[in-house]
Structures are given as C-alpha cells and as structure tokens.
Amino acid sequence: MMIRASRLAPTALIALFTLGSAQADEVQVAVAANFTAPIQAIAADFEKDTGHTLVAAYGATGQFYTQIKNGAPFEVFLSADDTTPQKLESEGDTVKGSRFTYAVGTLALWSAKEGYVDAKGAVLKKNEYQHLSIANPKAAPYGLAATQVLAKLGLTEQVKSKLVEGQNITQAYQFVSTGNAELGFVALSQIYKDGKVSSGSAWIVPGEMHDPIKQDAVILNKGKDNPAAKALVDYLKGPKAAAVIKSYGYQL
C-alpha cells in the first residue's frame, strides 16, 4: 500500500528522513588515476546495490599522501601501490585491519597510432621517436615501473632527453592520446576493455621487468565512523567489483 507524504505527521516525516539518511551515506574516496575507469563503473553498481554514494577524486598516489597528511577529507584511499597505504598505516592515519590489495596493475607501452608499437616493444630501441611519455616516477607507481623497464632494457640514458613527464598516469596517457608524444608508458587499464586493447597499438610489459604494482585500499581515520566507507571496501572484495576490475586488465 502506498502512503502519501501529505498524510504523514511532521514527526513521521522526520523519522522517515532520518531512517533514509542512516541507510544511505556518502563516502569521499581518493583514487589513483590509473583506476579512474574501473571505479566509475563500480560506483554505479555500488550506489545501485547499497544506496551509498561514492564521491571520487583522481590523482597521483604521492600527491594524495601529502593531501591526506595535510587533512584532506578523504575517507577511503585506493592507492596505485602498497607502500603508501602501509606508510599511512604505520603513521596511525588508517583504520586498523582495513588495508587490502584490491588489484595488481599492468604496465603497457602504448601509441595512439595503429601498428606503431610492436608486440615486444622493440620500437623503444629503434630510437626513431621524438617524445616518450611517462608519469612522474616520484609520485606515480606506474611512472616508477616505467623507469625500471627502461633501466632493464639499458635505455635510461638514451631516452632521457625524450621523456615527457606527466604529473600522474592520466596526464601521461593524455600526452600520447593527443599526439604530443608518439608513445608512452601507461596503465593497461587505460587502453584495455573486455580482453583487448581498445585503440592504437601496445606492448603489454611483462611483469618481471619491474616491481609488482600491487594496489592497496585502506579506510582512513576520517572514514572510521562512516558506514559507506566500510561498505565500499567490502564491495571491492566482492564478485561484481572483481569482474569489473578484471575486465580492465588488472589481476586480483
């Protein structure tokens, strides 16, 4: 039976509003830039399934660390590495026991041009390009991984003058997608959907060529009393979120 709001007493309206507020909360989330597309897809399902709302900010992990230490209002942190959440945990800035690995990232060498990057990345050694885009290795784990790959290939000095450095992995991707760099190291999740590279050409970098990109999530102290923060962390561990994460080329 439908109850019309106009027939409810003011106290009943207040009670209903309070009940709705208790059941649906908002969570402020700091999201590593490489995870932008997956979390946007997950957010829609999360809101539909739980009633909670996810409000995300995207950026470099190192920059988020500084913002969190300076009092930013984030309640959950989805990092691009595992060391930054561990550091926050050791410094007493997180809810004890909430940290876990939500994804393992994959690095890719990508060009917006079809056929430009070969399947083994030999284009790097040919040295026929003018610009190579990477994310800031001091702030972005994917940028650090890129420098490790270059070192392993013995190309660090050769490409030094050609590097175009983005503040985060999103900017590194944009340099390539706009043609300001012929190729660049990006997160596979930025160019991958449903089992294939969605545009351009790419070399999916073997994981043994750099340190594992383990991406940890953690509830920050500001989120300890927010049911939506715990609900999000639990949701990320569930099968529906896992399917989305895998579809963007991450491992679990």
Nearest to 215 by CA among 181, 187, 235: 187
Amino acid type, 114: E
Nearest to 111 by CA among 180, 32, 193, 34: 180
Residues near 252 by beta carbon (within 8 Å), at least 6 away in sequence: 103, 104, 242, 245, 246
Instruction: Report DSSP state, residue 220.
Output: B
b or e along 74-111 (b: 16 or more beta carbons within 10 Å of the residue's beta carbon)? Answer: bbbbbbbbbebbeebbeeebbbeebbeebbebbbbbbb
Which residue is listed with tokens 């209002």? 73
Exposed (0-12), middle (13-18) or buried (19+): which is 14, by Cβ within 10 Å? exposed
Distance of CA 137 to the CA centre of its chain: 16
The annotation status of 101 as a binding-site residue, yes or no, is no
CA atoms within 13 A on the CB side of 75: 20
Reduce the DSSP state of residue 185 to 3 states and report it: strand
The annotation status of 213 as a binding-site residue, yes or no, is no
Nearest to 220 by CA among 107, 108, 64: 64
Annotated binding site for molybdate: 61, 169
Binding residue numbers: 61, 169
